[in-house]
Copies of this chain bind each other. A is one copy, B any other.
């Protein structure tokens, strides 16, 4: 039933189809690093190789000629494809399981790719899909890491990928109010470029920045590395437009209101299950003329966490504020690419990065005030170099994963958040869950040591998020199941500690079974009720978010 894929007829998404980022960029691990990693993790086998696109087969589209004509009628010629390559390129996000599945000969894919050019076209496509019983997965930058892009048709007869790349404009700038309206398909760099022409910046820099889109940021409640200064993406959104199978919901850019529940916050995080976010009105600020950094070392996690907590509560708040635990610090402060190196050789303690953006005097003043707080709390000033090194490479970590996968080493991340009083116990519990699961022999797979790194990635007055990176030996047989087992153990630990199942990676398929533990049966019923109101036929991203 499957067949080799035909060449692309639509513009391809910019990312490498089966890995991270720029297809022309390759991260090569040095021989010494390779030897170290192999030694530390006991890697010995031959990893499953990457596969060429032309060596993949997909099932033929389930759409009829009439279906295709219906779609073309709504978005115009040249904006619909049922070609195998077009479909495959949009068939997955970039979680490690996603990448491992990209090694298979036969792969799942949406039945068509559709490129709408306006909110009205999106609404028309959705209404048509609802009538035609065809599910819709919205595609932005392809950087999803929790299964949000998995082409699940659910109870419907087919599933299409709605690629928003044509919604790529800066629709409006209100200089006086510092509000800009961006199309959902605008990528992070493009948003900064468009706003930069007006002397403005958004300031949203998640690790996926280079490829992810405004619509994706909104649909998943993304949070960037400069969230201490500019807020989470959901805090930046002042208005938005949501196209649904039942019409268009437009929420004006007046977020400070007592006119009932805040519907912006209902749409934010809805992950394409209620409709498609087509435009977002965001709070912007003048491009900061200066940045000043400073790194700090703390003797241990508890001391560092207390210091970071105090800094997070200061009016002098940094633009970036993060702290690596001992293991991650050892890796960060060691030579680039040295993941897996013996931590004993590296500088000890916990690394804190601070960065301040703004007018020069203001930056320096804020840095001075935060420095006083961190110094009082036991920090040792490391100068700006480690912070600048971090800033330089801050979008590059995902490339390393591809290099590791190539030698049979798994690398995956997960994250959570909880109140400050719960941070330490949560960190221990999640790290233990990961180490124990991956390190324990199972009937079909020998355990192997896992390297678990953690950092406090986002800070608030009441809470903080923990971001875990796990490096481990890939199982020869079913490495997807191997990770899922570890992930499940980590998720159980998170739920047991009353933390959120996801701070900024969203729910997708991977966290869906844990959502009811967080919001309860009534919470789930609220989501179902909203979905049923906007998407009564259930075609919007089935199998994601809502249990």
Contacts and interface: CB of A to CB of B under 8 A. Distances in A.
Contact of A507 (B258, B422, B465): B258
A503 B271 CA distance: 28
A428 to B, nearest CB: 16
Assembly of this chain: how many copies?
2
Given A177-B462, A522-B247, A529 B527 contact: no
A221 interface: yes
Nearest to A233: B258
Given A315-B366, A533-B525, A533-B528, A177 B261 contact: no
A507 B259 CA distance: 6
Given A254-B499, A261-B530, A268-B262, A315 B523 contact: no
Interface string A224-256: 000000001010001000001011111111111
Nearest to A464: B256
A158 interface: no
Interface in A482-537: 498-507, 511, 515, 518-523, 525-530, 532-534
Band of interface residues on A: 35 or more
Contacts of A221: 257-258
B257 A261 contact: no
A507 B260 CA distance: 7
A503 B177 contact: no
Contacts of A315: 315-317, 358, 362, 366
A462 B238 contact: yes
Nearest to A238: B462
A246 B175 CA distance: 47
A179 interface: yes
A130 B527 CA distance: 22
A420 interface: yes
A271 B501 CA distance: 29
A31 interface: no
A97 B246 CA distance: 39
A521 B520 CA distance: 28
A418 interface: yes
A269 B362 CA distance: 37
Nearest to A283: B462
Contact of A501 (B259, B502, B525): B259
Contact of A463 (B177, B460, B526): B177
Interface string A407-449: 0000000000111111000000000000000000000000000
A264 B257 CA distance: 15
A534 B522 contact: yes
Given A176-B421, A315-B366, A522-B246, A269 B265 contact: no
Given A269-B262, A316-B315, A523-B263, A421 B249 contact: no
Contact of A515 (B259, B366, B499, B528): B259
B244 A522 contact: yes
B258 A419 contact: no
A221 B259 CA distance: 8
Most-contacted residue by chain B among A253, A260, A506 (CB, 10 A):
A260
B263 A526 contact: yes
Contacts of A501: 259
A362 B234 CA distance: 30
A260 B283 CA distance: 22
B520 A419 contact: no
A511 B267 contact: no
A223 interface: yes
24 contacts: A177-B421, A179-B419, A221-B257, A246-B522, A247-B521, A249-B519, A253-B463, A254-B419, A254-B463, A254-B498, A254-B500, A255-B462, A256-B417, A257-B502, A258-B500, A258-B502, A258-B504, A259-B502, A260-B546, A261-B270, A262-B269, A266-B526, A283-B461, A315-B316
Given A249-B519, A259-B507, A522-B534, 11 more contacts: A222-B258, A249-B523, A256-B500, A259-B519, A260-B546, A261-B270, A263-B519, A263-B523, A265-B265, A315-B362, A522-B533
Nearest 3 pairs of A and B residues by beta carbon: A265-B265, A529-B533, A221-B258
